[in-house]
Chain A
Amino acid sequence: MIKKELAVAALKNGTVIDHIPSESLFKVVSMLGIKNLTSSVTIGFNLDSEHMGKKGILKMADVTFPQETLNRIAVIAPTAIINVIKDYEVVSKHKVVVPEELNNIVKCNNPKCISNNEPMRTRFHVIDRENIVLRCHHCECTVHQNEIVLK
């Protein structure tokens, strides 16, 4: 019980991202650029979850993210739930949505892809939203969820 209270200690304003698969937590941390934040951030790792076994949670005070940024998380953490907090109240709560296209988020796994050999942005199409399968816009190779490497 104590553990639970610690994990979800109240936040006055900010964003809470819950139900992140533990194995994706630190990828999400890096994707959101959390190490550059100056406000307080709580990172919960390997917390017990009824549905997921183990989960991760991120609580970030005084920040909100554009929807587009949050949707990028969906690629590595499709179960994530975004809570926006204002004055201790949850003012919005929703699941992340897998975008149709990912711009400069994911690295291509093909070493012979032009995007790994030229200073340029990567671009991927999400060709299977359910199982998260991506196709590189340039070399046309497919990348499955468990193979995703962030740029």
Chain B
Amino acid sequence: MTKSLVSISDLSKEEILALLEKAGEFEKQPNQRLLEGKVVATLFFEPSTRTRLSFETAVNRLGGRVIGFSDAKTSSQSKGETLKDTIMMVSNYADLIVMRHYLEGAARYASEISPVPIINAGDGANQHPSQTMLDLYSIYKTQGRLTDLTITMVGDLKYGRTVHSLLEAMQYFNPTFNFVACDELKMPDQYKRFCDKLGIKYTETTEFSEDIINQTDILYMTRVQRERFSDLMEYERVKSIYTLRASMLENSKDTLKVLHPLPRITEIDQDVDDSPKAYYFQQAQNGLYARQAIICRALGIKG
């Protein structure tokens, strides 16, 4: 059976665990010819080199072939073609479509009209489920479990889609969250209500203190974007408050890992990079294995 993946909420707990297990197998052996004879289209209506290379590497390492475009300017969309027509045309050629689009809901709509499965590689500010899967895999791999962990999210909790999706995905695993953000960028009410409804414990603070870091298993940093602020002075202030420095990790748990969806700007100081607790570069590498697992699920390949 083939299955699209548009939103992290499309996955049950069992499916998440199955994907993580599969990702673990790909980490042990990334080169497996499971996609022999398959063609995967990567349609990037919005450029995202990092995500595209990760998906294309995943296909290549599984022995499949890739077609597609990396910028909408080079597709017929620039001639005014509808998304529907592009999807219908490409589905004649490919067994699977991986798409990134600047409009929210584009992947959901594509999955409704496409005869081949769709993997959402990001739709505007909405969903990016393969990022969430690689976050989960990174947590699972570094902590040896997903259950009963304390996850501290720092930075832009208002617009950061990765923190929202991670929060939703962790609902099955009894997490405790600490939300650390300035008032302008705090966790939206709808996600706090989500936690309340499911009995998920959380604290909320504007102070990025060592006290909180020391209780934490996973420190999930996010980028504070300048365009979110009308007052640039405020931006500069917030940016420096929510910057992680190596000295702040001194009394943290040995098993603590620092995650970041990347690209990082200044929110993690360079001096953290040398700490064994820094995990953001390996985290990105885990994206390959997570995406291999997602591609196999989409095509119904057991392997």
A137 to B126 alpha-carbon distance, docked (Å): 12
Residue of A nearest to B84 (CB): A118
Per the bound structure, the CA–CA distance linking A119 and B108 in Å amounts to 15
Query: Is B67 in contact with chain A by the CB < 8 A criterion?
Result: no
The interface residues of chain A lying within 8 Å CB-to-CB of B51 are: none
B127 sits at the interface (CB 8 A):
yes
A139 vs chain B, min Cβ distance (A): 4
Of A36-44, A65-73, A87-95, A108-116, the one touching chain B: A108-116
Q: How far is the CA of A120 from the CA of B127 in the complex (A)?
A: 20
Identify whether the interface residues of A are mostly helix, strand, loop, or mixed: loop
Q: Using Cβ atoms and an 8 Å threshold, which residues of chain A touch B84? A: 118, 120
Chain B residues positioned under 8 Å from A48 (CB to CB): none
Question: What distance in Å separates the Cβ of A131 from its nearest Cβ neighbour in chain B?
Answer: 12
Cβ-defined contact, A119 with B82, below 8 A: yes
| A117, B7: Cβ atoms closer than 8 Å | no
What's the least CB distance linking A113 to chain B, in Å?
5
Which of A114, A137, A140, A141 interacts with B103 by CB under 8 Å? A114
Partner of A139, one of B82, B83, B104, B190: B104
- A contact residues around B104 at 8 Å (CB): 110, 112-114, 138-141
Asked if B160 is at the interface of the complex by the 8 Å CB criterion, the answer is no
* A114 in contact with B190 (CB, 8 Å): no
Q: 29 interchain pairs (CB within 8 A)? A: A108-B105, A112-B102, A112-B103, A113-B103, A114-B83, A114-B104, A114-B106, A114-B109, A115-B105, A115-B109, A118-B82, A118-B84, A118-B109, A119-B82, A120-B109, A136-B105, A138-B104, A138-B105, A139-B103, A139-B104, A139-B105, A139-B123, A139-B124, A139-B126, A140-B7, A140-B104, A140-B105, A140-B127, A141-B104
- Residue numbers of B with Cβ under 8 A of A are 7, 82-84, 101-106, 108-109, 123-127, 190
A residues apposed to B, CB below 8 Å? 108, 110, 112-115, 117-120, 136-142
